[in-house]
Amino acid sequence: MNARLTLLLMAMTAFACTPAPIRLSVLEPGHFHASLVQKYALEGVDSTVRVYAEDGPELQQYLTAIDAFNHRQEQPTHWREEVHIGDAAALLPPAKGREAVILAGNNRHKTRLLHRAVSQGYNVLADKPLAITPEDLDLLEDAYRTATEKGLVIQELMTERTVAGNRALQDWYTAHPIPCGSPEEPAVQMRSVHHFFKQVDGNPLTRPVWYYDIRCQGEGIADVTTHYIDMIFTQCFPGETLQASDILVVEARHWPTRITREQFRQSTGAEDFPADLVPYLRDGVLEVMANGSMLLCIKGVYARIEVIWDYEGTDSFTADYAGFSGSLPADTLSHEDHFRLVMEDFLEYVEGARTQPARERVNTLTKYRIIGEAVRQAGGA
């Protein structure tokens, strides 16, 4: 065999062994997290991204963000967005090969879209929350069953897991079991303050009108707490599989944030409250059930979580952990940069480079069961 033929055969063999790139589809990108997972180029991912969504300002905001990533001076991306206008669930074709769906948008439809994507053969990376109603939880459970049968990955976009300080806490409680605390002095106490009007990537964030509708976004204790319960699970009970029977919702309550018509106009661009929000108006002011607290007892360990939403200001998060005396390393990455780490982690599961632990499914479903119970106890839907 001559040298030229040998080189040709070697090249053909190498090409045949190179897996096809993962293809991405984005469904109804109504939240800015949908674009943040594409902030950087992703190795092994096709640069053409299929987008299935209804036309409107949310889609345009997503496309504008992607265009900005493509045209920035430092580390520009090269995404080509192939947009299909209409009902995403109806338009999404069956997957061919290794394909993945990104979900970050209206939570009223998210679980249905997740279920549809898995049924069509897609791996799914979904922003929180994955379920905000009992009906959503039933769909989510069925989606996980289908994913297991088909060998697909469902992953929740939990950026907090990649924060350096949180990894340090996980290491500490691997070696030092956490004290139990008490209802009066919980072992873990978390408090977060978020804002409806804020800056993202240096620009004012425009909220979709439905963001103020708890039927679409979910209550505060059904939304932001998804991160904090996940943190307690992964930090204080590292490597453990947690069942709903391991956790008691001791108490839960909620209260509204009052949004004026001018604040609503400033943050959404809409001239007035839509008809869907009229039932939540009190004396011309919108009451959004965005605040809440819950006290949990997890395998005998007490944890309190409080979520606050104000209109404008600087977001903050504080947490106290009993028994912890290690050091919390400073995190050098921005919040936006953690989306790349989560995306890379997800892609390794899709590629088969790593296997997603089975406890991810159990713990995620457990989390949403206890969140549902907390919302019920607080007097929500």
DSSP assignment of 72-141 equals: -SSS----EEEEEES-HHHHPPPP-SSEEEEE-S-HHHHHHHHHHHHHTT-EEEEPSPS-SSHHHHHHHH
Using a 10 angstrom Cβ sphere, with 0-12 exposed, 13-18 middle and 19 or more buried, the burial of residue 20 is: exposed
pLDDT tens across the length of the chain (381 residues) = 566 665 565 555 544 556 899 999 999 999 899 999 999 999 999 999 999 999 999 999 999 999 999 999 999 999 999 999 999 999 999 999 999 999 999 999 999 999 999 999 999 999 999 999 999 999 999 999 999 999 999 999 999 999 999 999 999 999 999 999 999 999 999 999 999 998 876 778 899 999 999 999 999 999 999 999 999 999 999 999 999 999 999 999 999 999 999 999 999 999 999 999 999 999 999 999 999 999 999 999 999 999 999 999 999 999 999 999 988 898 899 888 899 999 999 999 999 999 999 999 999 999 999 999 999 999 986
What are the domain boundaries of the chain? 18-156, 159-334+359-378
Q: What is the pLDDT of residue 199?
A: 80
pLDDT value of residue 335? 83
54 is written with which tokens? 């209804």
Helices (H), 192-307: 214-217, 220-223, 225-236, 261-268
Asked whether the bond before 186 is cis by omega within 30 degrees of 0, the reply is no
Burial class (CB in 10 A: 0-12, 13-18, 19+), 206: middle
The alpha carbon dihedral of 172, 174, 180, 185 has a sign of positive
Which class does domain 159-334+359-378 fall in? alpha beta
Q: Looking at this protein, which amino acid is placed at residue 52?
A: Y
The pLDDT score that the predictor gives to residue 3 is 62
Q: How many CB atoms lie within 10 A of CB 64?
A: 12
Which three-class secondary structure state does DSSP give residue 283? coil
pLDDT of residue 11: 53
Q: What is the pLDDT of residue 41?
A: 95
99 φ/ψ angles, rounded to the nearest 5 degrees: -130, 150
Enter the tokens of residue 351: 């590629």
Nearest to 282 by CA among 304, 256, 315, 308: 256
Fold that domain 18-156 belongs to in CATH: Rossmann fold (3.40.50)
Report the pLDDT value the prediction gives residue 203, as an integer from 0 to 100. 79
| Cα angle: 179, vertex 252, 196; to 5 degrees | 105
What pLDDT is attached to residue 1? 54
- Integer distance in angstroms from the first to the last C-alpha of the chain? 74
Say how many C-beta atoms besides its own lie within 10 A of residue 202's C-beta.
5
Residue 348's pLDDT is what?
A: 96
* pLDDT for 2: 64
Rounded to the nearest angstrom, the gap between the alpha carbon of residue 288 and the centroid of all alpha carbons in its chain is 21
Same fold, 18-156 and 159-334+359-378: no
Q: In what order do the strands lie in the sheet with 123-126?
A: 80-85, 45-53, 22-27, 99-103, 123-126, 154-156
Contact between 96 and 63 under an 8 Å Cβ cutoff? The reply is no
pLDDT the model gives residue 14:
47
Largest CA distance in the chain: 88
